[in-house]
Amino acid sequence: MCGEWNSLREVRNTSHRLGSPSGPLRRSDGVSVVNLGEKKFVVKKSDLIFSSGISEFDRVLGKGIVQGAVMLFSGEPGVGKSTLLSQVVGKIGGLYVTGEESLEQIRLRVGRLGLDKKNFDILGTNLLGDVEAVLGRTKKVYKIMVVDSIQVLVDEETPGVPGSVSQLKSCTFKLVELAKRLAIAIFIVGHVTKEGSIAGPKLLEHMVDVVLYFEGEKNGELRILRAIKNRFGSSDEVGVFRMESGGLVEVRGDEVNLVSSEVAGVGKTITVVMEGSRPMMVEIQALVTESFAPMPKRGFVGIDYNRGQMLLAVAQKSLGLPLYKDDVFVSVMGGVKITDTGADLAIIGAIYSSAKNKMISTKKVLMGEVSLIGEVRKVKFFERRLSEAKGLGKEVVAAKKVQNLVEICKG
């Protein structure tokens, strides 16, 4: 028995590996040091990496799923996390651990997506001990396991309610240990906070091998899968999907076009951003209107707030816009989030267009990183962006300073 203040708690007497957070350090027999220079340690890469059956998913992971890897999969509610992971399991088979949905709900989703039900082994539980017991006694070899979600999983040996810091840390640690010991790739579904970050301690992201984020507007069609962290490949690649009635469908690079309409409008500009190695044409919209509040409002959707504030200041200084007395709202259409500084000129162009009530032709593409003094710098992968714009019948506008927007609007 373990004594706490005015209470007793039963603790299971188990041995712990070195570094276990749930017990003291103890000596582990049978562990030896391996020298890669002396021991024959030759493993074919093809034996360690296998395809998910979905090329866009493989693109983000590197070249596929790595054996024994642990991947944290997060995104807004309703964006399609469970749908995408169900499609992966449906392609290659695996164990689906559900603590949030009933078995009947899983069965209905699998049927709606038209997936092979024989590839699904479902374990309905929120107890980590049940997962360990099933994997310990089964003779079936699983390539992947999905845990949906980590916020409802409970380790009975650790105090705390589901979703607490202690439970999240303990459950994730033991899942990582299971993945390495059994050579099974584990996808851990994680919730997000209202700010959009992954719920739980930052340590969660350090413990896993890959952190994936699925984004997009729930009411829109397009979904973007991006890797925030990837120990096995680049964290710059993105996968693009389109949500349809039968599930998520891959979108090829030449099909990615986030321009809502070819009709020009006030406060609307077009730019080309780089998401990983692929160029994407996106539409920026801005609304500048007189404010009647003591402090004018600022709203940015799909753009970093601090970056947006800086570009507003540059527009006010370089173009003489009295934005200090206006409400300003800027949005990236399609529900995607961009961090590419090559969209700076297009953002300022949309703001100028709305403030001056002048249109910029949708045939013109604005690209360039804007400095604090209003200079426009050439962006990386310019030739690839230029090729994308020309392929869609667009003209890339050359601008050296933000002030050139005045002439662009006239043209």
Supply the pLDDT for residue 2: 53
- DSSP string of 71-124, one letter each residue: EEEEE-TTSSHHHHHHHHHHHH-EEEEESSS-HHHHHHHHHHTT--GGGEEEEE
Model confidence pLDDT, tens digit, residues 172-194? 999 999 999 999 999 999 998 87
Q: What is the mean pLDDT of residues 276-294?
A: 90
Q: What six digits make up the tokens of 302? A: 């799909």
Query: Mind listing the pLDDT tens digit for each residue in 344-366?
Result: 999 999 999 999 999 998 899 99
Positive or negative torsion for Cα 50, 227, 369, 332: positive
Judged against a pLDDT cut of 90, whether residue 255 lies above it is answered with: no
Q: Is the pLDDT confidence value at 377 over 80?
A: yes
Higher pLDDT, 261 or 22: 261
Poorest-confidence range of 5-9, 31-35, 107-111, 123-127? 5-9
Distance, CA of 115 to CA of 86 (rounded, Å): 8
pLDDT mean over 272-289: 89
pLDDT for 304 equals 93
Whether 340 and 348 have beta carbons less than 8 Å apart is answered as no
The dihedral built from the CA positions of residue 28, 12, 170 and 209, taken in this order, carries a sign that is positive
Q: What is the pLDDT, as a whole number, of residue 39?
A: 57
- Region 215-239: mean pLDDT is 85
pLDDT at 16: 47
For residue range 37-58, list pLDDT tens digits in order: 665 555 555 568 999 999 999 9
Residues 6+ apart with CB under 8 A from 80: 214, 216, 223, 241, 243, 248
Block residue for tokens 């959707």: 301
Name the nearest CA neighbour of 75 among 196, 172, 171, 221: 196
Residue for token pair 């082994």: 121
| CA 274 distance to own-chain centroid | 16
Which letter does DSSP use for residue 48 in this model?
H
pLDDT tens, 307-334?
Answer: 999 999 999 999 999 999 999 999 998 7
Find how far residue 353's CA is from the centre of its chain.
Answer: 32
Integer-rounded Cα Rg, in Å, for the chain is 25
Instruction: Supply 297's token pair.
Output: 């409002």
Enumerate the H helices of 146-300 as residue ranges. Answer: 165-182, 203-207
Domains contained in the chain, CATH given: 44-251 (3.40.50.300), 257-410 (3.30.230.10)
Tell me which residue of 45, 85, 92, 90 sits closest to 67, measured CA to CA: 45
CB under 8 Å to 311, separation ≥6 — which residues? 344, 347, 348, 351, 370
Report cis status (omega within 30 of 0) of the bond before 82. Answer: no
Q: What is the pTM of this model?
A: 0.77
Please calculate the CA angle 187-57-122 and round it to the nearest 5 degrees.
35
